[in-house]
Amino acid sequence: MDRAKLRELQSERLVKIVKYTYDNVQFYRERMDEAGVKPSDIKSIDDISKLPFMQKKDLRDYYPYGTFAAPLKDIVRFHASSGTTGKPIVAGYTQNDLDNWAEGVARCLTAYGATKDDILQVSYGYGLFTGGLGAHDGGQKLGATVLPMSSGNTSKQIMLMKDLGCTGLCCTPSYALFLAESIAEDPDTDIEKDIKLKFGAFGAEPWTENMRKELESKLRIKAYDIYGLTEVSGPGVGGECEYQDGTHLWEDMFYPEIIDPVTLQPVEPGQQGELVFTTLLKEGMPVIRYRTRDLTHLIYDKCRCGRTMVRMGRILGRSDDMMIIRGVNVFPSTIESCILEIPEFNGQYFVTVDRVKNVDTFDIDVELRPEFYTDNMDKMLNLKARLTMRLVSVLGIKPVIHIVEPNTIARSQGKAKHVLDKRQFKNE
């Protein structure tokens, strides 16, 4: 779609959604009244900046139904985001919302080159988490054959992947890495002969270009990004195309902005900042200028694939994943990327941060590929030194590296947990 036409469509939809939420949700009415803006002030997408922001806290404060805009009789499904502390965020979907969500996922699958002929192994968790059912509905919408595996039971995953000839894999990148390792260790499975996978749709957590290379070579596939969040709908808010050069966001349905998280002003085009979404079509639980806390940038240049919809760079992490260690901002994704630059490491890592005598400690456990694990101390020390040097040059601070035995770092079947920050349990 031509970008001028797209803007018209976005404008038309924004005007409608703002009026709809104002009329149906007390929360939006109060916020807009406080900000002194009326639905009639919103005439086009250019007026979006007049609207107040909303955050995760608002969804929690109005738990469970306070931000729903449709009556419960029209809500056909609930999902909830994990919410590690306190109440989860509950999302309600009308049938139209589910159809649009499936449309978003189907567009991603199409962009990966998937068709009706593909067999999709959906290894995202099924349940409250949006990953499983989201990928499932999108796969069916495309007309592909869906295998609703859910996460876990890795040996059965591999058996069915082989026996049914699955061609697409949907799961978190960390679980894909674990599956790849398990396939490599399985004496009865030959990746070349027995596995028919062509592509993977990986998301739900940040991952890096180096992880892409790793997964592509281990699984002999093309690995594509899929992005989304429960508050906005679920996976399939955007996905990569065959050029793997940014994640196209389906901005006719989900309008993205990037703001400076401190000043809350829009950044210059192309600059990094916090991603904000307005759902242009959602009926059940729309969000207006929702602050995701995901840090990224947007690319408006036309993509080589011909799609005109904006692309998003890799998510560096959530602002709440960022650790400040000895005053330096550190994202787990940067650590992952450095580790995978050194081929002897297998990409599994775990970071522990603590504060001892007022000084931050920064320890990273890493694993070697089993074939490189040796009792030759010189080799091990050399690898440790190489990784330390790389991390110091990228991060500016020095971690203590511990090379642990293969298979000692806990593998994840869903979203990986890479960090333990013990400082948050101390009252200093």
Binding site for ligand ADP (CB under 6 A): 81-82, 129-130, 203-206, 225-230, 292, 294, 315, 318
Minimum Å gap between C-beta 174 and ligand ADP is 12
Minimum Å gap between C-beta 296 and ligand ADP is 8
Single out the residue of 156, 305, 291 nearest to residue 240, CA to CA. Answer: 305
Q: Which is nearer to ligand ADP, 195 or 219 (CB)?
A: 219
Q: Which is nearer to Zn ion, 171 or 241 (CB)?
A: 241
SS (H, E, C) 312-343: ECCCCEECCCCEEECCEEECHHHHHHHHHHCC
- CA dist 206 and 76 (Å) reads 30
Q: Which is nearer to ligand ADP, 90 or 146 (CB)?
A: 90
Minimum Å gap between C-beta 336 and ligand ADP is 12
Contact call for residue 19 and Zn ion (CB under 5 A): no
Please state at what angle helix 377-395 crosses helix 332-341, rounded to 10 degrees.
Answer: 140
Residue 348's binding partner out of ligand ADP, Zn ion, none, with CB under 5 to 8 Å set by partner kind: none
Region near Zn ion per CB under 5 A, out of 6-14, 183-191, 226-234, 237-245: 237-245
**Whole-angstrom distance between the N-terminal and C-terminal Cα of the chain?**
55
> What are the CA-CA distances from residue 145 to residues 198, 214, 261, 299 (Å)?
14, 27, 42, 33
Q: Which is nearer to ligand ADP, 205 or 344 (CB)?
A: 205
Contact call for residue 309 and Zn ion (CB under 5 A): no
Q: Which of residues 239-268 bind Zn ion (CB under 5 A)?
A: 241
- CA dist 379 and 337 (Å) reads 22
Single out the residue of 213, 23, 221 nearest to residue 118, CA to CA. Answer: 221
Residue 307's binding partner out of ligand ADP, Zn ion, none, with CB under 5 to 8 Å set by partner kind: Zn ion
Minimum Å gap between C-beta 258 and ligand ADP is 14
Minimum Å gap between C-beta 307 and Zn ion is 5
- CA dist 58 and 55 (Å) reads 5
* Cross-strand partners of 290: 54, 277
Contacts with Zn ion by CB under 5 A: the residue count is 4
Q: Where are the beta strands (DSSP E) in 103-243?
A: 119-122, 145-147, 168-171, 199-203, 222-228, 235-240
Residue 408's binding partner out of Zn ion, ligand ADP, none, with CB under 5 to 8 Å set by partner kind: none
Residue 241's binding partner out of ligand ADP, Zn ion, none, with CB under 5 to 8 Å set by partner kind: Zn ion
Q: Which is nearer to ligand ADP, 28 or 129 (CB)?
A: 129
201 CB neighbour count, 10 Å cutoff = 29
CB 6 within 8 A of CB 253: no
CB 348 within 8 A of CB 396: no
Minimum Å gap between C-beta 233 and ligand ADP is 9
Minimum Å gap between C-beta 314 and ligand ADP is 7
- SS3 of residue 122 by DSSP: strand
Residue 366's binding partner out of ligand ADP, Zn ion, none, with CB under 5 to 8 Å set by partner kind: none
Minimum Å gap between C-beta 193 and ligand ADP is 31
Phi, psi of 232 (to 5 degrees): -95, -30
Phi, psi of 19 (to 5 degrees): -65, -40
Q: Which is nearer to ligand ADP, 195 or 241 (CB)?
A: 241
Residue 204's binding partner out of ligand ADP, Zn ion, none, with CB under 5 to 8 Å set by partner kind: ligand ADP
Contact call for residue 299 and Zn ion (CB under 5 A): no
Residue 303's binding partner out of Zn ion, ligand ADP, none, with CB under 5 to 8 Å set by partner kind: Zn ion
Contact call for residue 305 and Zn ion (CB under 5 A): yes
- CA dist 17 and 147 (Å) reads 36
Candidates 303, 315, 366, 395; binder of Zn ion (CB under 5 A) is 303
Q: Which is nearer to Zn ion, 216 or 354 (CB)?
A: 216
> What are the CA-CA distances from residue 403 to residues 111, 131, 330, 366, 399 (Å)?
39, 33, 20, 5, 12
Minimum Å gap between C-beta 234 and ligand ADP is 7
- CA dist 402 and 413 (Å) reads 24
Minimum Å gap between C-beta 322 and Zn ion is 29
Residue 273's binding partner out of Zn ion, ligand ADP, none, with CB under 5 to 8 Å set by partner kind: none
- SS3 of residue 347 by DSSP: strand
Q: Which is nearer to ligand ADP, 154 or 233 (CB)?
A: 233
DSSP H/E element including 103: helix 95-111
Contact call for residue 307 and Zn ion (CB under 5 A): yes
Residues that bind Zn ion (CB under 5 A): 241, 303, 305, 307
